[in-house]
Amino acid sequence: MGISFQHVDYNYPGLKRKDFTIALQDVNLDISENGEFIAIVGKTGSGKSTLMQHMNGLKIPTRGNVVVFDNVITPKPRKNPKMKNIRKRVGYVFQFPEYQLFEETVLKDVMFAPVNFGFSKEEAKEKAMNILKLLGIEKLASKSPFNLSGGQMRRVAIAGILSYDPDIILLDEPTRGLDPKGAKDIMELFYKIHKETGKTFILISHDMDIVYEYTNRIIVLNDTKITYDGGKEELFKTDIYKENHLTKPEVLKLTDYLNEKLNLNLGYDNYNLDMLLNSLKAVTKHE
Ligand SMILES: Nc1ncnc2c1ncn2[C@@H]1O[C@H](COP(=O)(O)OP(=O)(O)OP(=O)(O)O)[C@@H](O)[C@H]1O
Ligand SMILES: [Mg+2]
């Protein structure tokens, strides 16, 4: 098992002891290190980032345990395992990761984590160059990370996490602020790595179109609690998504519309417009 939450609560401390904010309540979750592409969704302030920060030891539960690759994280800090071992296996791409760039060159920035996790300089350089190539930004290697466009900076920051090859990759709103093409390119890249390596990806997103296209399991948070954990089709077939302040993906709105207007029975297993178009062609040819 990759990551497991057992009755986890988390409170943010306030100025006074009594003034804490409850961010998570009784969270139970099992996440495999293999084959999952999970979305964490829910309205702003529902606890998504707080939940994700527990997955690599950035937050320690107030109550309950989080188990990450057999390392048990408990509310007692002194008993806790070495976080470095956990962070090496579970990589975290923060919201606006470009704010964390700091080295003189792109290459040095991407090499930083592998060096920190014990790879030699040569190995780190090789890993960094490979990942820059994969992301199509190897030409930027000797540039300063501060003289890049926002989208390029985002890629460099993502390269910094992928460079040390973590088993599970956490993504907190990786497409936020990118133009539609930039967002699609980055999602396609994560999806490709996921398909090729089987690595589990966990994505926080407010974009239901992206969530519906790429993920295979959705976890919904509503006001500190998990209110849904399961398949994407089931979530949008019932009213659960509305009760959790989510909007229907565009492809499903169009599916509903076509079914109604043309009296068809197109399924919710078309995860993007191309898939829907192909299904539509297939049924109309039959008639
Ligand atoms: N540093 C903090 N100190 C105190 N309270 C916090 C802190 N960070 C978050 N909170 C509170 O914890 C709750 C959950 O916040 P969190 O950031 O996990 O939500 P989120 O679902 O990621 O929201 P968003 O979609 O806006 O990113 C909210 O009530 C928030 O106000
Ligand atoms: Mg957040």
CA-nearest of 264, 287, 286 to 276 is: 264
Give me the helix-helix angle, 273-286 and 250-262, nearest 10°: 20
pLDDT tens by residue, 91-102: 999 888 888 888
pLDDT of the residue at 203: 97
How far, in Å, from the CA of 42 to the mean position of ligand 2?
10
pLDDT of the residue at 86: 94
Closest ligand, as measured to the CA of 94: 2
Record the pTM.
0.95
Over 90: is that where the pLDDT of 81 sits?
no
Is residue 78 very low, low, confident or very high in pLDDT (cuts 50, 70, 90)? confident
Nearest CA to ligand 1 atom 30: 45
pLDDT of the residue at 32: 97
Nearest CA to ligand 1 atom 6: 12
Nearest CA to ligand 1 atom 3: 12
pLDDT tens by residue, 169-192: 999 999 998 899 889 999 999 999
Query: At 260, phi and psi to the nearest 5?
Result: -70, -50
Is residue 149 very low, low, confident or very high in pLDDT (cuts 50, 70, 90)? confident
Positive or negative torsion for Cα 256, 260, 262, 264: positive
Mean pLDDT of 253-260: 98
What is the C-alpha to C-alpha distance for residues 14 and 92, in angstroms, rounded to an integer? Answer: 26
Residue type, 251: V
List the domain boundaries for the chain. 3-232, 249-287
With a 6 Å cutoff on the Cβ, whether 50 touches ligand 1 is yes
Is residue 285 very low, low, confident or very high in pLDDT (cuts 50, 70, 90)? confident
pLDDT tens by residue, 192-239: 999 999 999 999 999 999 999 999 999 999 999 999 999 999 999 999
pLDDT of the residue at 72: 95
Is residue 287 very low, low, confident or very high in pLDDT (cuts 50, 70, 90)? low
Atom nearest to 42 CA in ligand 1? 21
Mean pLDDT of 132-147: 93
Is residue 62 very low, low, confident or very high in pLDDT (cuts 50, 70, 90)? very high
Pocket test for ligand 1, best of 12, 96, 246 (most atoms within 8 A of CB): 12
pLDDT of the residue at 286: 58
Q: Which fold has domain 3-232?
A: Rossmann fold (3.40.50)
With a 6 Å cutoff on the Cβ, whether 23 touches ligand 1 is yes
With a 6 Å cutoff on the Cβ, whether 45 touches ligand 1 is yes
Give me the helix-helix angle, 121-134 and 106-116, nearest 10°: 120
Nearest CA to ligand 1 atom 24: 44
Indicate the average pLDDT of the chain.
Answer: 94
How far, in Å, from the CA of 162 to the mean position of ligand 2?
21
pLDDT of the residue at 239: 93
With a 6 Å cutoff on the Cβ, whether 49 touches ligand 1 is yes
Is residue 150 very low, low, confident or very high in pLDDT (cuts 50, 70, 90)? confident
Closest ligand, as measured to the CA of 45: 1
DSSP 153-208: HHHHHHHHHHTT--SEEEEESTTTTS-HHHHHHHHHHHHHHHHHH-BEEEEE-S-H
pLDDT of the residue at 122: 96
Is residue 79 very low, low, confident or very high in pLDDT (cuts 50, 70, 90)? confident
pLDDT of the residue at 5: 98
Question: Token pair for residue 245?
Answer: 């302040």
